[in-house]
Chain A
Amino acid sequence: MDKISHSNGSDKRELSIPGLEWTKEDGEVLISLSGSWSLSCPERQRVLRRWQSLIRQASDIEVFRISCTEDIAWDTSLVIFVRNAIDGFESEKKKVHLGFLPEGLKTLLIISKERKTNQGKTELEDIADDLEKFTADIPNYFVKPIEFIGAVIIASLELISGKSVMRFGDFIESARKCGASALPIVTLISFLTGLTMAFVGSVQLEKFNAKIYVADLVSLAMVREMGALMVGIIMAGRTGASFAAELGNMKLNEEIDSMRTFGISPISFLVLPRALALFLMTPLLTLYADIVGILGGLTVGTVVMNFSAVHYLEQTQSALTHMWEVYSGVTKSLIFGLIIGLVGCYKGMNSGRDSAALGKSVTSAVVVSITFIIVADALFETIFSYLELR
């Protein structure tokens, strides 16, 4: 097929621009193509515009004859041009006669005849299609997650009855990854949260000459709200995302399929150890974050506000005498851990089978779990306040 390669080289006299001659004769039009037809030639646009206006003026003509000069140099641009010209004439029921064409061009014209035009859809139809797909998918938004949660519950029951294929080692490994390995970031963030609250609080409380209540403010806010919430957000971004990415990648590599063909439930083997580890680690991390947050407050209290450490801690202790605040924070964090683990694993297990879909499901794992955490937090507070648990 070496005829297809046509650099505009061999003939020095050859025009380096596409040539188009249009001759009207006895009610017929002779179209003669010459010169160099190249995609990279800027002159081509001008020729195409001229072509459009010629066509518009030729609506009364019935017969067209297309031919090329023998020294024409061409590439894809000529194939597309001639193909479109022929298709255009034929769709208007006009006659087209082909004169001399280079051999290679003839072959390519025949091959390109079979291309299908797939542009039938307008933008509006596209939107309609999307909408249809979306509505058809709506049941999936509810059915699939419920199926997933059901499968996880069954897998947990199997675990309790000792029939699960879950390996204890996997659970420990997951617990280490989402628990112990998260300690540095949890330390930093909760220390700074406590510190910031102490600074902000001290400015306000100073006005009432009640500076020592900074200890109450920091400890209550940390224990009841910020500890669980901060750990939840860290876990969503850190562990939830990694669950989604790990499982999504396994799905991409057919690892989950191959597990199923062995009759090994991926829910028991992959989801359960991860979700369980996170469920158990989040409350522990929350307790840790509470303590570090209080230490952050203590730092401001002693260094900036000049309270003695003992005084500050005694004040903190008196604020937390009922311990209810601690329990409520830890209860919340259990649910947060559950949400993050389940959302992360669900998004991974239901990720699409290409890398763009994987990225999407990781993002969505983080966004969805943080949203759910905030919603759950608000629900908890509402319930607590109605039940007058405070």
Chain B
Amino acid sequence: MNTEEFNPIITVKNLQLAYGEHLVLQDVSFDIKQGTCLVVMGGSGCGKSTLLKSMVGLLEPVQGEISISGERLWDANSNGSKIFNKFGVLFQGGALWSSMTIRENVALPLEVYTELAEKEIEDIVRYKLSLVGLSGFENFHPSQLSGGMKKRAGLARALALDPKILFFDEPSAGLDPITSKRLDDLITELKESLGMTFVVISHELASIFDIADDAIFLDAKSKTLLDRGPPRTLLDQSNHQDVVDFLTRNESSNN
């Protein structure tokens, strides 16, 4: 794979992550091309969410570096806020701010980072909510929404600042197949129409084959990146039995 031709928007080099003395991942390097969707796969406990946390600036790596659009994360000299409004993050449960309404949730990043007039913010919020199918829920509080709706509201908030990159922790976990398919379609649409880059953690195989341009497989035993490539290619050509097993689970259940 020749990465020289494309400008990688995210580069991860020799990353080592740990919680205190408990090592989670080591020697992880990969990059992501702009406008593609990378899926992070692996069994539970292999460090997928931890990797995501470090990529969005919540967990400082023990070693190694992460760059987003050329800005190094976790570098004392780099300007944090310059990076932060380039990406959006959607946590597993949506992580909406529970004291605010849905409208306020989506509007807050806009209020903090832009000088837009209230009317304009209002329009943007309505548009983003319609994008995820939540029109009319502006004045609801997060506690009044179902799990799937919270996740979609979280997506609307993550999209508020038109980020170039979206990090997505298990979009389909706890969603019914139809809603989860809609989310997958939305990812593909946003990718194609806006050229957004996606980093998605997922075990849902149907959705992996749908959305992923590229995938990495993390392994809990060796605590590192086992293989990478488009899922179809991995399925046919991977040298690692674990990767093939992971991906064939889907094929057998479909037949």
Contact with B along A215-250 (1 / 0, CB 8 A): 000000000000000000000000000000010011
Give chain A nearest CB distance to B90 CB in angstroms.
8
By a CB distance below 8 angstroms, the chain A residues around B113 are: 263
At the interface, is chain A mostly helix, strand, loop or mixed? Answer: helix
Q: Which of B126-173 contact A (CB under 8 A)?
A: 154, 167
By a CB distance below 8 angstroms, the chain A residues around B98 are: 249-250, 253, 255
**Is A264 an interface residue, CB under 8 A from the partner?**
yes
By a CB distance below 8 angstroms, the chain B residues around A264 are: 108-109, 112
Task: Specify which of A165, A254, A261 is in contact with B93 (CB 8 Å cutoff).
Answer: A254
Task: Specify which of A165, A253, A257, A261 is in contact with B84 (CB 8 Å cutoff).
Answer: A261
B interface residues, tally (CB under 8 Å): 26
CA distance A257 to B50 in the complex (A): 13
**Is A50 an interface residue, CB under 8 A from the partner?**
no
- B112 pairs with A165, CB closer than 8 A: yes
Give chain B nearest CB distance to A137 CB in angstroms.
10
- A262 pairs with B112, CB closer than 8 A: yes
CA distance A79 to B56 in the complex (A): 48
- B57 pairs with A260, CB closer than 8 A: yes
Q: A165-B112, A254-B93, A255-B96 are in contact. Are A261 and B85 (CB under 8 A)?
A: no
**Is A258 an interface residue, CB under 8 A from the partner?**
yes
**Is B190 an interface residue, CB under 8 A from the partner?**
no
Task: Specify which of A165, A246, A258, A263 is in contact with B91 (CB 8 Å cutoff).
Answer: A258
CA distance A253 to B84 in the complex (A): 20
**Is B175 an interface residue, CB under 8 A from the partner?**
no
CA distance A257 to B57 in the complex (A): 9
**Is B95 an interface residue, CB under 8 A from the partner?**
yes
**Is A259 an interface residue, CB under 8 A from the partner?**
yes
For A170, the closest partner residue in chain B by CB is B99
- B112 pairs with A260, CB closer than 8 A: no
**Is B89 an interface residue, CB under 8 A from the partner?**
yes
CA distance A263 to B73 in the complex (A): 12
By a CB distance below 8 angstroms, the chain B residues around A261 are: 56-58, 84, 87-89, 167
CA distance A246 to B97 in the complex (A): 11
By a CB distance below 8 angstroms, the chain B residues around A262 are: 84-85, 108-109, 112
- A263 pairs with B81, CB closer than 8 A: yes
By a CB distance below 8 angstroms, the chain B residues around A260 are: 57-58
Contact with B along A161-193 (1 / 0, CB 8 A): 000010000000000000000000000000000
CA distance A246 to B100 in the complex (A): 13
Give chain A nearest CB distance to B87 CB in angstroms.
8
By a CB distance below 8 angstroms, the chain A residues around B154 are: 258
For B86, the closest partner residue in chain A by CB is A263
CA distance A255 to B105 in the complex (A): 11
CA distance A254 to B58 in the complex (A): 11
- B89 pairs with A255, CB closer than 8 A: no
Q: A263-B80, A263-B84, A263-B85 are in contact. Are A258 and B108 (CB under 8 A)?
A: no
By a CB distance below 8 angstroms, the chain A residues around B80 are: 263
- A257 pairs with B95, CB closer than 8 A: yes
CA distance A246 to B83 in the complex (A): 29
For A253, the closest partner residue in chain B by CB is B95
By a CB distance below 8 angstroms, the chain B residues around A250 are: 97-98
By a CB distance below 8 angstroms, the chain A residues around B112 are: 165, 262-264
By a CB distance below 8 angstroms, the chain A residues around B83 are: 263
By a CB distance below 8 angstroms, the chain A residues around B92 are: 254
For B169, the closest partner residue in chain A by CB is A254
CA distance A254 to B92 in the complex (A): 9
Q: A260-B57, A261-B57, A264-B108 are in contact. Are A253 and B81 (CB under 8 A)?
A: no
Give chain B nearest CB distance to A287 CB in angstroms.
30
CA distance A362 to B174 in the complex (A): 31
- A257 pairs with B97, CB closer than 8 A: no
Give chain B nearest CB distance to A380 CB in angstroms.
35
Contact with B along A259-295 (1 / 0, CB 8 A): 1111110000000000000000000000000000000
Give chain B nearest CB distance to A144 CB in angstroms.
14
- B95 pairs with A254, CB closer than 8 A: yes
Q: A165-B112, A262-B112, A264-B112 are in contact. Are A255 and B97 (CB under 8 A)?
A: yes
By a CB distance below 8 angstroms, the chain A residues around B56 are: 261
By a CB distance below 8 angstroms, the chain A residues around B87 are: 261
For A254, the closest partner residue in chain B by CB is B95
By a CB distance below 8 angstroms, the chain A residues around B58 are: 257, 260-261
CA distance A264 to B157 in the complex (A): 13
By a CB distance below 8 angstroms, the chain A residues around B99 are: 246
Contact with A along B55-67 (1 / 0, CB 8 A): 0111000000000
By a CB distance below 8 angstroms, the chain A residues around B84 are: 261-263
CA distance A255 to B57 in the complex (A): 15
CA distance A165 to B84 in the complex (A): 15
By a CB distance below 8 angstroms, the chain A residues around B91 are: 254, 257-258
- A253 pairs with B93, CB closer than 8 A: yes
Known: A258-B95, A261-B58. 9 other contacts (CB 8 A): A255-B95, A255-B96, A257-B91, A258-B96, A261-B84, A261-B167, A262-B109, A263-B85, A264-B109
A residues sitting closer than 8 Å to B (CB atoms) are: 165, 246, 249-250, 253-255, 257-264
Q: Which 9 A-B pairs have the closest CB atoms?
A: A263-B84, A258-B95, A254-B95, A261-B89, A254-B91, A263-B81, A261-B56, A262-B109, A165-B112
Would you mind naming 16 contact pairs between A and B with Cβ atoms under 8 Å apart? A165-B112, A249-B98, A250-B98, A253-B95, A254-B91, A254-B95, A255-B97, A257-B91, A258-B154, A261-B84, A263-B80, A263-B83, A263-B84, A263-B113, A264-B108, A264-B109
B residues sitting closer than 8 Å to A (CB atoms) are: 53, 56-58, 80-81, 83-85, 87-89, 91-93, 95-99, 108-109, 112-113, 154, 167
